C-alpha cells in the first residue's frame, strides 16, 4: 500500500493550477447515459474516482475516449443496465447512474452502497423520488431494481438536502413526461454545473442554484461540449495548507465566487486574500487565529472542508468549536491528528480544538478522502517526518497532489 512521507516546516510558496471538480465531473459523466450522441467534456480531473466512473460507464456500453483533460463519451450502444456491488462499494457516486438509466432505458439494477466510513449515508431519497415519478422499485439481493415504461413528472420534496439525490432526480426528470419540481433541492455549484451541461444537451431546466428546480421533460437529448467547473474543495484545501504553513500562494483556473464561505473563514484566521476572475491569492503572515465553524448545505460552510480547517485549528491561537451537521462519524481524522500532538475533544457532532504551538511528525493513517487532506496539511506544519498510510483515499479526489505540493516547495514523496 502506498504512503506519503512529508518533512514538515516549509511554508508553501508559488502558483498552481486547480483541476476540474470531482463532484461535478462524476454526475456529468453519467449524463452521457441520457443520449446516443457524443458528450465532449473538458477540464476533467485526473482522479481515481473519475477512472472508476469511466470503467463503470464503459462496462455498460458507453464508448469513452480520453485525451489529456478531455473526455469524449458516446452512449449509443448501452446494453448493460447495471452498476455492480464491487464498483458501488468503492465509489458511492456510482448510484448516479440510476436516474439516467431508468429515464432513458426504463430499467436499472444498482447495488445499494452499504456502509461508508463517514456514516450510514442511505439512498432512500433517491428511491422515493423515482417512485414518485412512477418507477416500480424493489430491493433484491442488495440491489435496487427500478423499472418504468416512461417516468412521469412529479412534485418531490427532499426532507434532507441531498446533493447526489438532487442530481439523480434531475437526470431522471429531463426525459420524463411532463413537469418535475424538486423542492428543498441542493444548491451546490456542482448541481448547477450538471444542470448547465444538461441544458446544453437540450434539457429544459429552470431554477438550478435555488432550492426549487423545475424540469420540463423532453423526448430526447442531443450531444454537447462542456467544460467542468473548477474544484472548490481542491482550491480550499491548498489555501488552508498555505495558511497553516504561513505561506504565500496563487491558485489559477479556479473561481472565488463559489468559495465565499471558505474565504471568509480564512480571512477570520488572519489570511490576506485577493481574488480576480479565475485567480485566488493568499498570504499568511501570522500564527492562524482559531475559527469556529458549522457545516451545512451550500451556501453555508462545506462538510468537505471541515477536516482541513481542523488541521489549521490544531496550531491556531486560541480554541475553536467545530460542528458537523451533515454526516455522523465525520471526525475520524481526530484520533490521527492527536497522534501528531493536537488537542481535540469530541462530544457528539461537536469538536473543540485547542491550538498548540506546534505539531510533531508521526505515522498516521488516512481514513477517508478529506480526512487524508487534513493529515497532509498537519504533516506540512509538523516538525520532522509524518508518514501517511492508505493514501489511496487521497488519490480518489486530489489530482497529482504531491506534484502540486512539490511545486509549492513542500518536501513530500510517495513511498511505494
Spatial distance between the Cα atoms of 264 and 118, rounded to a whole number of angstroms: 26
> Which of positions 340-369 make contact with ligand UD1 (CB under 6 A)?
none
Cβ-based neighbours of 288, under 8 Å, separated by 6 or more: 243, 244, 269, 270, 271, 312, 313, 315, 316, 317, 355
- x/- binding map, residues 208-247, to ligand UD1, per CB under 6 A? ----------------------------------------
Q: Which is nearer to ligand UD1, 113 or 361 (CB)?
A: 113
Q: The C-alpha cell of 199 is what?
A: 441544458
Q: Which is nearer to ligand UD1, 123 or 241 (CB)?
A: 123
**DSSP 8-state secondary structure symbol assigned to residue 409:** T
| Beta strand extents in 184-312 (DSSP E only) | 204-206, 212-216, 224-227, 248-252, 272-276, 279-283, 293-294
Shortest CB 99 distance to ligand UD1, Å: 12
Partners of 385 in beta bridges: 7
- Is cis: bond before 210, omega within 30 of 0? no
Among 60, 102, 103, 126, binds ligand UD1 (CB under 6 A): 126
Give the range of 50-58, 158-166, 210-218, 399-407 binding ligand UD1 by CB under 6 A: 158-166
Shortest CB 319 distance to ligand UD1, Å: 26
> Which of positions 167-186 make contact with ligand UD1 (CB under 6 A)?
none
Among 162, 196, 255, 372, binds ligand UD1 (CB under 6 A): 162
Contact by Cβ (8 Å): 311, 275: no
Burial zone of 281 (CB within 10 Å; 0-12 exposed, 13-18 middle, 19+ buried): middle
252 CA to centre of own chain: 19
Spatial distance between the Cα atoms of 270 and 393, rounded to a whole number of angstroms: 30
Q: Is residue 165 involved in binding ligand UD1 (CB under 6 A)?
A: yes
Q: Which is nearer to ligand UD1, 370 or 404 (CB)?
A: 370
Shortest CB 383 distance to ligand UD1, Å: 32
Q: Which is nearer to ligand UD1, 239 or 326 (CB)?
A: 326
| Helix orientation angle between 163-173 and 98-105, rounded to the nearest 10 degrees | 10
Give the range of 72-80, 142-150, 157-165, 195-203 binding ligand UD1 by CB under 6 A: 157-165
Among 31, 125, 170, 412, binds ligand UD1 (CB under 6 A): 125
Q: Which is nearer to ligand UD1, 12 or 123 (CB)?
A: 123
Q: Is residue 318 involved in binding ligand UD1 (CB under 6 A)?
A: no
Among 110, 326, 380, 388, binds ligand UD1 (CB under 6 A): 326
Q: Is residue 123 involved in binding ligand UD1 (CB under 6 A)?
A: yes
Among 71, 93, 144, 375, binds ligand UD1 (CB under 6 A): 93
Among 52, 74, 111, 164, binds ligand UD1 (CB under 6 A): 164
Q: Which is nearer to ligand UD1, 190 or 402 (CB)?
A: 190
Q: CB 126: neighbour CB atoms within 10 A?
A: 25
Q: Which is nearer to ligand UD1, 33 or 284 (CB)?
A: 33
Spatial distance between the Cα atoms of 335 and 319, rounded to a whole number of angstroms: 18
Q: Is residue 309 involved in binding ligand UD1 (CB under 6 A)?
A: no
Q: Does the annotation count 30 as an active-site position?
A: no
Contact by Cβ (8 Å): 290, 320: yes
Q: The C-alpha cell of 329 is what?
A: 462519524
Q: The C-alpha cell of 7 is what?
A: 518533512
Q: Total number of residues binding ligand UD1 (CB under 6 A)?
A: 21
* 89-106 exposure pattern, b = at least 16 Cβ within 10 A, e = fewer: eebbbbbbbbbbbbbbee
SS3 call for 146: strand
Shortest CB 160 distance to ligand UD1, Å: 4
Partners of 145 in beta bridges: 109, 138
Q: Is residue 32 involved in binding ligand UD1 (CB under 6 A)?
A: no
Q: CB 124: neighbour CB atoms within 10 A?
A: 11
Please name which of 324, 321, 339 lies closest in space to residue 375, comparing C-alpha atoms.
339
Shortest CB 195 distance to ligand UD1, Å: 14
Q: Name the site residues for ligand UD1 (rule: CB under 6 A).
A: 23, 26, 92-93, 119, 121-126, 160, 162-165, 190, 303-304, 326-327
User: What residues are annotated to the active site?
Assistant: 116
Amino acid at each position: 500500500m502506498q504512503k506519503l512521507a512529508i518533512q514538515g516546516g516549509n511554508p508553501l510558496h508559488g502558483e498552481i493550477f486547480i483541476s476540474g471538480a470531482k463532484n461535478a465531473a462524476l454526475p456529468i459523466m453519467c449524463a452521457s447515459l441520457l443520449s446516443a450522441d457524443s458528450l465532449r467534456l473538458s477540464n476533467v480531473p485526473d482522479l481515481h474516482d473519475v477512472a472508476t466512473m469511466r470503467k463503470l460507464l464503459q462496462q455498460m456500453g458507453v464508448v469513452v475516449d480520453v485525451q489529456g483533460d478531455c473526455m469524449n463519451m458516446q452512449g449509443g450502444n448501452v446494453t448493460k443496465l447495471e452498476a455492480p456491488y464491487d464498483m458501488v462499494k468503492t465509489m458511492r457516486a456510482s448510484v448516479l447512474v440510476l436516474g439516467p438509466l431508468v429515464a432513458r432505458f426504463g430499467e436499472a439494477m444498482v447495488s445499494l452502497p452499504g456502509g461508508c466510513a463517514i456514516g450510514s449515508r442511505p439512498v432512500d431519497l433517491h428511491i422515493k423520488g423515482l417512485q414518485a415519478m412512477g418507477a416500480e422499485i424493489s430491493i433484491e439481493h442488495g440491489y435496487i431494481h427500478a423499472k418504468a415504461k416512461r417516468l412521469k413528472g412529479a412534485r418531490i420534496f427532499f426532507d434532507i438536502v441531498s446533493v447526489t439525490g438532487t442530481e439523480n432526480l434531475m437526470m431522471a426528470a429531463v426525459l420524463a413526461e411532463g413537469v418535475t419540481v424538486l423542492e428543498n433541492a441542493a444548491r451546490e455549484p456542482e448541481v448547477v454545473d450538471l444542470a448547465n451541461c444538461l441544458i446544453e444537451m437540450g434539457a429544459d431546466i429552470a431554477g438550478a442554484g435555488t432550492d426549487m428546480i423545475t424540469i420540463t421533460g423532453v423526448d430526447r437529448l442531443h450531444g454537447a461540449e462542456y467544460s467542468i467547473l473548477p474544484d472548490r474543495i481542491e482550491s480550499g484545501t491548498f489555501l488552508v495548507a498555505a495558511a497553516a504553513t504561513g505561506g504565500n500562494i496563487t491558485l489559477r483556473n479556479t473561481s472565488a465566487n463559489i468559495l465565499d464561505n471558505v474565504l471568509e473563514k480564512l480571512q477570520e484566521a488572519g489570511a490576506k486574500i485577493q481574488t480576480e476572475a479565475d485567480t485566488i491569492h493568499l498570504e499568511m503572515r501570522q500564527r492562524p487565529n482559531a475559527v469556529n465553524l458549522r457545516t451545512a448545505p451550500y451556501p453555508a460552510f462545506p462538510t468537505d472542508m471541515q477536516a482541513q480547517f481542523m488541521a489549521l485549528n490544531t496550531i491556531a491561537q486560541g480554541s475553536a468549536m467545530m460542528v458537523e451537521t451533515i454526516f455522523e462519524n465525520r471526525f475520524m481524522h481526530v484520533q490521527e491528528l492527536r497522534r501528531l500532538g493536537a488537542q481535540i475533544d469530541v462530544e457528539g457532532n461537536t469538536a473543540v480544538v485547542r491550538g498548540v504551538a506546534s505539531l510533531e511528525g508521526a505515522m498516521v493513517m488516512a481514513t477517508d478522502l478529506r480526512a487524508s487532506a487534513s493529515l497532509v496539511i498537519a504533516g506540512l506544519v509538523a516538525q520532522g517526518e509524518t508518514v501517511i498510510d492508505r493514501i489511496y483515499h487521497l488519490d480518489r479526489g486530489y489530482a497529482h497532489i504531491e506534484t502540486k505540493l512539490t511545486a509549492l516547495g513542500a518536501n513530500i514523496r510517495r513511498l511505494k
